[in-house]
Amino acid sequence: MGLLAIALTLQACSAVKTAYNQAPTLAYLYLDGYVDFNDTQSTQVKAELTRFQAWHRQTQLPGYVELLQKMQPQMLQDMTAAQTCDVYADLRQKAAAMADHAEPAAATLAATLTPKQLDAMQRKFAKSNATWREDYLDGSPKDLFDKRQKSAIKRADMLYGSVSDKQRTLIAQQIERSLFKPAQSFGERLRRQKDVLQTLGKVSNSPQDAATNLQDMRNLLARSLASPDLVYRRSLDTLTQEGCASFAELHNSTTAEQRKKAVQVLAGYEQDFRVLMEQK
């Protein structure tokens, strides 16, 4: 069910156009919650986020429109796991393009971070880790299962309108046989956080030129996209294939009305993106 979560990322917002137009402010507040920017950094980050949104609106939104157009006729038919993985690969490619574009600004900002700000980031990581553990590791097996099932059903409802009891049972079965290992994922989460703190510490504390800082940030991104832990990478590949198969299995269980609803949902987002493309 992980692929369904990614495919429906845009649907997490109650109003796509409003959320998109407010994205620079929302992103600033999110980042500020980690490091508590000083006045100079605040001005710099706000300006960079505004420029990033303008770039994204002009160069990336057309790709989302194209993807949504491609998906709509597919939603009226049965789908294979391979087709679903194609969508996943497209979304990953778009995310990587955004990260690549943001790297120079991120490297410039990283060089200005203070030890106090890195300490604040570490505390924020610890807080978010506690929440993650509540959702995936701590608690009784039944409670953890119920949380995952509730989340998966909610995502499915967002796309198909409402899932049937039979489909709820299918989702439960998919979760039960999933190869997802929370402890392994949590370990990778901790590795990435440690990597972030160490890299930012190096960039901010060591006298380096801008090119070296940028390369350090690029290497950090590369390790985030492809973990140096080969066991984890293989497990992630397996889970990706599992997610593609699970989505296809659920979709192929849907009725004609549910598929029409899915097309309507995707068409609505396509229209929203077209409007956003025309705005300045």
What is the Cα Rg of the chain in Å?
A: 20
> What is the arithmetic mean of pLDDT over 114-133?
97
Q: How far apart are CA 262 and CA 260, in angstroms?
A: 5
Question: 138-186: per-residue pLDDT in tens?
Answer: 989 999 999 999 999 999 999 999 999 999 999 999 999 999 999 999 9
Residue-range definition of the domain harbouring residue 153: 2-278
Residue 10, pLDDT above cutoff 60: no
pLDDT exceeds cutoff 50 at 11: no
Q: How confident is the model at residue 16 (pLDDT cuts 50, 70, 90)?
A: confident
- What are the tens digits of pLDDT across the range 199-224? 999 999 876 788 999 999 999 999 99
3-state secondary structure 226-247: CCCCHHHHHHHHHHHHHHHHHH
pLDDT of residue 101: 95
**How many domains, in total, are found in the chain?**
1
> Mean pLDDT over all residues of the chain?
92
Report CA-CA distances (Å) from 42 to 19, 30, 109, 124, 268: 21, 12, 10, 19, 35
The whole-angstrom separation of Cα 102 and Cα 77 is 37
Please compute the mean of the pLDDT values over residues 239-260 and round it to a whole number. Answer: 97
Q: What pLDDT is attached to residue 256? A: 97
Query: Containing H/E element for 60?
Result: none
**What is the distance between the alpha carbons of residues 235 and 213, in angstroms, rounded to a whole number?**
31
Please enumerate in sequence order all residues whose Cβ is within 8 A of that of 257, keeping only pairs 6 or more positions apart, or say none.
Answer: 161
